[in-house]
Amino acid sequence: MKKFETLTSQVVPLPIENIDTDQIIPARFLKATTREGFGDNLFRDWRFDTDNQPKTDFVLNNPTYSGKILVAGKNFGCGSSREHAAWAIQDYGFDVVISSFFADIFKGNALNNGVLPIQVPEEFLGKIFELVTQNPKTEIIVDLEKQTVMLTETGDQFEFEINPYKKSCLINGYDDIDFILNQKDSIELFEANRQW
Amino acid sequence: MSKTLVEKIWDAHVVKREEGFPDIIYIDTHLIHEVTSPQAFDGLRKRGIPVFRPKQTVATADHNVPTLNQHLPIKEELSRYQVDMLTKNCAEFGIELYGLGHPYQGIVHVIGPELGITLPGKTMVCGDSHTSTHGAFGAIAFGIGTSQVEQVFATQCLLQSKPKTMKIEVNGTLQKGVGAKDIILYIISKISAAGGTGYFIEYAGSAIRSLSMEARMTICNMSIEMGARGGLIAPDQITFDYVEGREFAPKGEEWDQALAYWKTLYSDEDAIFDKVLTFDAADIAPMITYGTNPGMGMGIAEHIPATNAQPESERPSYQKALDYMGFKDDSVVLGNRVDYVFIGSCTNSRIEDLREVASFVQGKQKAQDVEVWIVPGSKQVEKQAKEEGLDKIFEAAGFQLREPGCSACLGMNEDKIPAGKYCVSTSNRNFEGRQGPNARTMLVSPLTAAAAAVTGKVTDVRELI
């Protein structure tokens, strides 16, 4: 897994709530059997019309906004457990998603792929949207070690939470399977001692 | 120490607990399907490791299969390749597959229970968020991503933080025409599409206790639609009677041992939940959704809540949802045009659902301009429906009985609802484009779906029974 330490980037604002994983990557694009290439269809039906032409009013088609940080409304990633949503976000070029609330499964999938989901208070999220509207070049600095997210323009900073184990996975670039494969003895012992 | 049911099952499956780390929990049963498994099998190949416990894994093809002419090769190339890949992977890694053509094939959350694979006290996972369905038996069951599918393949374990617990009690007696689907749509409408996030929910109370196993599965199935990782119901005699004698259920002495254990699976009287909610069954009307997440639901005769009544920050998203659906503030959906009726999905495709629909439509005809699809959850459900003559009733009514699969629930396979069309659906998600690009979904119970099929418009079934 890709390592994550710090990131300074402009942001792409998507101030919509309850963005479900069907919007992030519609089911008809889940037929691939590898992890690559899903970024082309990220937010497919919001990004392209039925004739496959880019919808100019959608933020990903607006050259004013760019960057490796996606900022979205609350309950981001709800619905289907498809990890393809995290793959699509990563493949498109986002390393961080900021929201005021994440759905559980999406959050886990993102972390398992080196995409950092950062939960911030509603007011902080509102401030980001406001600043980015005023100045699309606004930058954010994410420091995973310090667990901080900072708006460079105003100096506003928030200290986010992350499970210490998941944090070390991201910083060191290792995944759950590497960790758990080293626990085989404990697993076999558990199986041996198990009653019905 | 007093424990909730979730804590009892969870603690019995902890392989290792260490400060600062998620628990390592043992997974009894791993269900897989064609869409979320290929990249996990690839991962094993890259690491050069086998499936650790292949006998505890069961596979089926459901999401990406056609529901007509299943005896013929799948027409769409990518779909065929994905389904073939599952067959190859299962053969290579020694996993039992109930693929197309097998008498046990069906939607993964329908076949687990009907085969007796789903049992009280188990931990079960699947790369599908509706795995919560199996919680109806008093199991801890939840959906996982593909990296976790690989993790379970490799170790039969998962790294998971213990969830918070919520109890939702529904007490009293349901009105006529109101069923399990209405109960769960009602709960979600009350607590929102995010209200259960971080929790495992235990459903309790007299209205839940009186439900059949299949109705309980409908309830637990939609736990994820309020963000909850899973939902479960303590097993009781209704559970034991359902499980006994099924293909893979314990038999003889093993059954007696299992039963003795299962009878210990309940939340202790003084167990503490992180949150408790209580609802009155009598307050629940037949439900329908009017927006683009399952929390946007209401009693079928009610008015759509006004945009101005929403918190200010949520108004743009709310208005976007109504625009997508073609609905206006404060209007009613009762009487709205219906183009398609879909009766199926892991929420409502079991034999009781089909029986309920059949008994309502017997002697009636579908409305002329409505297309009605009935998609049984499994080959076994399909077989039983035919044995009971339900197929004849559907045929006479102009309903199309198709072959098992996830079908129009998710807009992945051939079964899609065309753009702009209204579909009254017994499935679980009304997201934008869920049933096909620009399709408009209204989630309802099987009975309300049957009523819409007959009248061709959104109908209060209470007036027809």
Tokens representing A38? 């899903």
What per-residue confidence (pLDDT) applies to B292? 98
B159 touches chain A (CB under 8 A): yes
Q: Which backbone phi and psi does A164 adopt, to 5 degrees? A: -60, -35
Q: What is the DSSP string of B253-302?
A: HHHHHHHHHHTT-S--TT---SEEEEEEGGGPPPEEE-SSSTTSEEETTS
pLDDT at B251: 98
Query: Which pLDDT belongs to residue B161?
Result: 94
pLDDT tens per residue, range B53-82: 999 999 999 999 999 999 999 999 999 999
Residue A4, pLDDT > 90, answer: yes
Smallest Cα–Cα separation from B435: which of A79, A31, A22, A76? A22
Question: pLDDT tens for residues B385-395?
Answer: 999 999 999 99
Q: Do B433 and A165 touch (CB under 8 A)?
A: no
Q: Are A149 and A137 in contact (CB under 8 A)?
A: no
pLDDT band, very low/low/confident/very high, at A86 (cuts 50, 70, 90): very high
Hunting for tokens 């046990």 — which residue is that?
A: B104
Kindly indicate the confidence band of residue A42, based on its pLDDT and cuts at 50, 70 and 90.
Answer: very high
Q: How far is CA B313 from CA A20, A69, B364, in A?
A: 18, 21, 47
Q: Is the pLDDT of residue A30 over 80?
A: yes
Interface list for B 126-155 with A (CB within 8 A) = 127-129, 143-148, 150-151, 154-155
Q: Which residues pair with B158 in a beta bridge?
A: B25
- Cβ of A82 within 8 Å of Cβ of B145? The answer is yes
Confidence label for A196 from pLDDT (cuts 50, 70 and 90): low
The residue among B159, B188, B307 with the most chain A CBs within 10 A of its CB, best to mutate, is B159
Q: How far is CA B129 from CA A105, B38, B294, in A?
A: 8, 17, 14
Q: Choose, out of B52, B129, B189, the residue to mutate when testing the contact with A (most A CBs < 10 Å).
A: B129
pLDDT of residue A2: 83
pLDDT at B318 > cutoff 60: yes
Average pLDDT value for residue range B355-362: 98
pLDDT of residue B126: 98
Give the separation between CA B258 and CA B277, rounded to whole angstroms: 31
DSSP state of B333: -
Task: State the Cα–Cα distance between residues B293 and B307, nearest whole angstrom.
Answer: 15
SS3 at position B320: helix
Which chain B residues are closer than 8 Å to A15 by Cβ?
Answer: 316
**Which CA distances in Å does B68 have to A132, B225, B405?**
50, 29, 10
The reply to whether A78 touches chain B by the CB within 8 Å rule is: yes
Q: Is the pLDDT of residue B142 over 80?
A: yes
User: Which residue is listed with tokens 């689907």?
Assistant: B181
In angstroms, the first-to-last Cα distance of chain A is 37
Burial class (CB in 10 A: 0-12, 13-18, 19+), B355: middle
Distance separating alpha carbons of residues B431 and B166, to the nearest angstrom: 25
CA B106 to mean position of chain CA atoms: 13
Best to test chain B binding among A31, A43, A45 (most B CBs inside 10 Å): A31
B-chain residue closest to A166, CA distance: B21
Model confidence, pTM: 0.97
Locus of tokens 């795995």: B131
Chain A residues touching B151 at Cβ < 8 A: 176-177, 180
pLDDT of residue A1: 84
Task: Give the distance, in angstroms, between the CA of residue B254 and the centroid of all CA atoms in the same chain.
Answer: 29
The reply to whether B307 touches chain A by the CB within 8 Å rule is no
